[in-house]
Amino acid sequence: MPELPEVETIKREIEPFIVGRKIEGIEIKDHRNIKGISPEQFKKKLIGQKFKGLTRQAKYMLFELASGNYLTIHLGMTGRLLFAPDKYVKIVFNLSGGKNLYFSDARLFGKIRFFEAMPNLKLGPEPLQKEFTVEYLKKIFSKRHSSIKVLLLDQKLLSGVGNIYANEALFRAGINPHRKASSLSEAEIKKMQHAIEEVLEEAIKYRGTSDSWYVDAKGEKGGFQLRLKVYGKKNQPCPKCGTTIKREAMGQRGTFFCGNCQK
């Protein structure tokens, strides 16, 4: 699933492409990604509107329209926003200047919604915001006895971190994913904060991780998959100590870690 670095990469590519352009038409090949509104109303609400801006909140893209309305897109597991079509295109936005923006989704997990005003997505702070502090992490960790890995994926507490980067950040911080969140010392919380910020910033620099479906708006793969330390590395040697990397299911997600380096 595209996580914060992948969505940020796509956002940076699409923003200059759409801002100032008018939606002149919408082709709906499959309406199932559109939520909370009929396909007919979706077209009626959007056609003729002009894009004013594009922002990102965690894994969501928020398209601001000149009217004050908003279009939100969550790519889900296999969603893509593309400048050129692929075989899984579900919706085509016909824009002024003879340009198109294609929404593609092989498995239909993505969600597209229309809002009359800026929506409240009810997300926790994300790691690249000023609210992501050691004090905030101490507060949410101290009250919870769930595993640190599961907590990192709770978007209501901490948004934007998905499975890939939770695995990688825990490895960099040297923290076992099974540890109870409340068991972390202040020093470990500082390591955790730094590791999360570091891995997300590095992943954005390398334009995301293409371990399955993800490509950017140009249809090109990211580069961070070449820098992964533990994710997807079951039975391979740990890059730090050589111990075999384990894979276990936690919260229905694959969890990769080194039992020697991560305590």
pLDDT bucket at 251, cuts 50 / 70 / 90: confident
pLDDT at 165: 98
Res. 143: pLDDT tops 90: no
pTM, full prediction? 0.96
Closest CA to 178 of 140, 152, 147: 147
Catalytic-role residue among 56, 59, 90, 207:
59
User: What is the tens place of the pLDDT at every residue in 169-209?
Assistant: 999 999 999 999 999 999 999 999 999 999 999 999 999 99
Sequence ranges of the domains in the chain = 4-115, 134-257
For range 131-147, the mean pLDDT: 95
User: In the annotation, is 119 catalytic?
Assistant: no
User: In the annotation, is 207 catalytic?
Assistant: no
Q: Return the structure tokens found at 159.
A: 């948004």
Residue 177, C-beta contacts closer than 8 angstroms, at least 6 positions apart: 147, 148, 149, 166, 167, 170, 250, 255, 257, 262
Res. 1: pLDDT tops 80: no
User: In the annotation, is 253 catalytic?
Assistant: yes
Query: Token pair 């929506």 is at which residue?
Result: 119
Catalytic-role residue among 3, 6, 126, 188:
3
User: What is the tens place of the pLDDT at every residue in 5-40?
Assistant: 999 999 999 999 999 999 999 999 999 999 999 999
Poorest-pLDDT segment among 55-59, 75-79, 141-145, 227-231: 141-145
User: What is the tens place of the pLDDT at every residue in 79-120?
Assistant: 999 999 999 999 999 999 999 999 999 999 999 999 999 999
Catalytic-role residue among 2, 125, 127, 177:
2
Taking the C-alpha atoms of residue 86 and residue 258, their distance in angstroms, rounded to an integer, is 38
Catalytic-role residue among 21, 52, 247, 253:
253
% of the chain with per-residue pLDDT over 70: 100
CATH for 134-257 is 1.10.8.50
% of the chain with per-residue pLDDT over 90: 97
Distances from the Cα of 54 to the Cαs of 51, 65, 124, in angstroms?
8, 9, 20
4-115 and 134-257: identical CATH topology: no
Mean pLDDT of the chain, nearest integer:
97
> What is the topology classification, in CATH, of domain 4-115?
N-terminal domain of MutM-like DNA repair proteins (3.20.190)
pLDDT at 229: 98
For range 72-82, the mean pLDDT: 97
